[in-house]
Amino acid sequence: MRKRMLALLVCLVLACLLPWGTGEEIDLSPTPSPAVPDAPDAGSLRLPPISEAPLLQAPPMRLDCAAALLMEAESGQVIFEMNADSPRPVASVTKVMTILLTLEQMDAGRVSPNQPVTISQSAAGMGGSQVLLDVGETQDVDALLKCMIVGSANDAAVALAETLYGSEELCAEAMNRRAEELGMSDTHFVNCTGLPAEGQHTTARDVAVMSRQMFAHPHYFDHSAVWMEDIDHGDGRVTQLVNTNKLLRLYDGCDGGKTGSTKEAGYCVSATANRGDMRLIAVVLGAASGKERFDIAKRMFDFGFANYRRYPVAKRGTKVKGRLPVTGGEADGVGLVLDGDLTLLVNKGDEQRVALSPDLPESLTAPVREGDAVGHVTVEVDGRPVAQIPVAAAETVEAKGNGIKRFWHNWAWRL
């Protein structure tokens, strides 16, 4: 009993020493913002969704193709589009999904780059573009991936499909599942190569979605910029790979992409180019010739790089000026921080048109926990809302008396 009485006396003394017991003022002035680490790059694969509306209502140039779309890769902001949701065949651009699944399975450890693959009759017998694999020949997974990325090899694509999923049909099912996960609502795959097949189709928007995901894998770029390379078949025979993406030579900054062409699909390409801190993705479907698809993509890239820049609006953890009042708490207010990163794509020179409008309550009721969502900041461009950034409590504010209760619980009963 004496110990409990002594503990109670200690608690009362501590209570008298607290600011509200002495009448002393609490310093509520804002503290300097801590340094915030850079946001994760695209290689982390945590990609924001692509924008629901393009920045421009119509393409700023004549596009002699069936469909097109220009997008900034990191933010997912679409700059302009044309017939972007019209389903159509895209020939070997279909292999973007096959490549993506291979990269994801490699990252997951389900297959290793040096895992040997024995070429089956079905893989060796594929028509169209090939690397001329023989039945029974052995190539490793990474070599087959390179053949698919550089030379658009159908035989390499089927060999990988069989290695990953057991058959091309099961691979196509996996491609459709992944498409659904990525929100590609106007896409259906029948095979892993893009060879003509009834019911196989996608759209310029969906091509941009899966291409963006593929470009988020750093290992993709280990192969994508290869211009020419020999593939040794192990029996004295060598096949020379030549990259089908001529933009690698035609456009400064282009370091990847996937081409495709058939009679029904026309000439297609999904290409990417990087300059400075900005990566663009240009999708061109149904052009009249191979040269025309590359010319259109070049003009799309030129427009994007000439007119837009990435503008960092917010970093997660940035301190919000001032403090939000707290009622019934051990402190009268709580500091706030932005709980999200945001980089906008803006017209060069239009940065001053970006404004932040807070949407916060007048006060909070204790207890408030660090990290609690308390509201958001609306980002506006020319008065038009374009995004929201969550705002969170920067620290914990306990309800009055909770500090004494914690002391009593943790210490008093141990005396």
Q: What is the pLDDT of residues 215-227, one digit of tens each?
A: 999 999 999 999 9
3 is catalytic: no
In whole angstroms, what is the distance from residue 264 CA to residue 154 CA?
A: 18
- pLDDT tens across 87-131, in order? 999 999 999 999 999 999 999 999 999 999 999 999 999 989 999
CB atoms inside a 10 Å sphere around CB 213: 21
- pLDDT tens across 50-73, in order? 777 899 999 999 999 999 999 999
The CATH 3.40.710.10 domain(s) of the chain lie at 45-308
In whole angstroms, what is the distance from residue 98 CA to residue 23 CA?
A: 69
Query: What is the CATH number that goes with domain 2-39+315-414?
Result: 2.60.410.10
The CATH 2.60.410.10 domain(s) of the chain lie at 2-39+315-414
- pLDDT tens across 293-342, in order? 999 999 999 999 999 999 888 889 999 888 999 999 999 999 999 998 88
75 is catalytic: no
Q: Check: CB of residue 323 under 8 Å from CB of residue 335.
A: yes
User: Which one from 152, 211, 224, 261 is the annotated catalytic residue?
Assistant: 152
Contact partners, residue 257, CB within 8 Å, separation at least 6: 211, 224, 245, 247, 248, 269, 270, 271, 272
29 is catalytic: no
Architecture of domain 45-308: 3-Layer(aba) Sandwich (3.40)
Structure tokens given for 44:
């982390």
pTM listed for this prediction: 0.79
28-42, 51-65, 236-250, 264-278, range with the lowest pLDDT: 28-42
